[in-house]
Amino acid sequence: MRTVLVIEDDNAIRRGLCDALRADGCTVFEAAEGEAGLKSALQVDCDLVLLDLALPKLPGLEILKEVRRVRPALPVIILTAMGGEKDRVAGLKLGADDYVVKPFSVAELLARIEAVMRRSAERPGDVREVKCPAGVIDLQRCEMRYAAGGRAELSERERELVRYLAANPGRAISRDEILARVWRLDPRGISTRTIDMHVARLREKLRDDAENPAFLLTVRGKGYMLA
């Protein structure tokens, strides 16, 4: 089942969109202004965002800019009455996946959502086990099982960090994205030192050399990823 976040200040349009998406089998979250919309976009586990540009409290382009910084792979379709070329170009340059000008039909929007989701990376399934040089990380039992024998218990946060990194193979995950998607916190103005401390403890349990890690890698200037 697909989960869609609708950020739209017009009550009638937002209700109509939410009803149509639910009728199409989607789980729907909604926000009526920019600040609440950005918070939801960073923290809600959604597959796609429908984003109006002319929003109170925080404009849509600012939301898009922050979403692209923290959640670069999240598909975003802009919905707006501002159909000029300048506005379309601005949205697309900031990373919007598509641009729908009001008024539009529900059938057209649903078709565009399908097209965007097909172009986007396939949503990863739930990861239950992760192999590493020292053994196997069992995410269901929240433990590290060593190939040489023995086990180490993982904290809930350590498990979710491994799960998120493993669900995004081949991509360095920024500290801000980890704060938003694993810690469920708005990363603006928050120190990311806590992430580094969790990574250090996790490397100890995975027996991954802190000075020269072979599994939980630090990508300079970008964040963390699994080898």
CATH number at residue 221: 1.10.10.10
Are 101 and 175 part of one and the same domain? no
Mean pLDDT for the chain overall: 89
SS3 71: coil
Higher pLDDT, 101 or 90: 101
Place of tokens 């990863």: 124
Residue at which a domain ends, from 119, 140, 170: 119
Q: Classify residue 147 as left (phi > 0), alpha (psi -120 to 50) or beta.
A: alpha
Calculate Rg over the CA atoms of the chain. Answer: 20
Query: Dmax of the chain from CA atoms?
Result: 64
Separation CA 225–CA 171 (nearest Å): 6
Per the CB < 8 A criterion, the answer to whether 72 and 78 are in contact is: no
Q: Helix, strand, coil proportions of the chain in percent (round to 5)?
A: 40, 20, 40
CATH number at residue 108: 3.40.50.2300
Q: What is the pLDDT of residue 84?
A: 63
Among 100, 130, 120, 101, residue whose Cα is nearest residue 112: 100
Structural domain contains residue 124: no
Residues written for the chain: 227
Q: What is the pLDDT of residue 45?
A: 85
Residue 127 has pLDDT above 60, yes or no: yes
Are 111 and 15 part of one and the same domain? yes
By residue range, what is the domain housing residue 202? 129-226
Q: Tell me the per-residue pLDDT of 32-88, one tens digit each, with 9 for 90 and over.
A: 999 999 999 988 889 999 999 889 999 999 999 999 888 888 899 999 886 666 766
Are 52 and 115 part of one and the same domain? yes
Mean pLDDT of all residues in 18-36: 96
Residue 122 has pLDDT above 50, yes or no: no
Are 111 and 135 part of one and the same domain? no
Structural domain contains residue 91: yes
Are 105 and 195 part of one and the same domain? no
Residue 214 has pLDDT above 60, yes or no: yes
Mean pLDDT of all residues in 192-203: 90
Are 59 and 8 part of one and the same domain? yes
Q: Indicate the number of domains in the chain.
A: 2
Q: Tell me the per-residue pLDDT of 140-176, one tens digit each, with 9 for 90 and over.
A: 899 999 999 999 999 999 999 999 999 888 889 999 8
Q: What is the pLDDT of residue 24?
A: 94
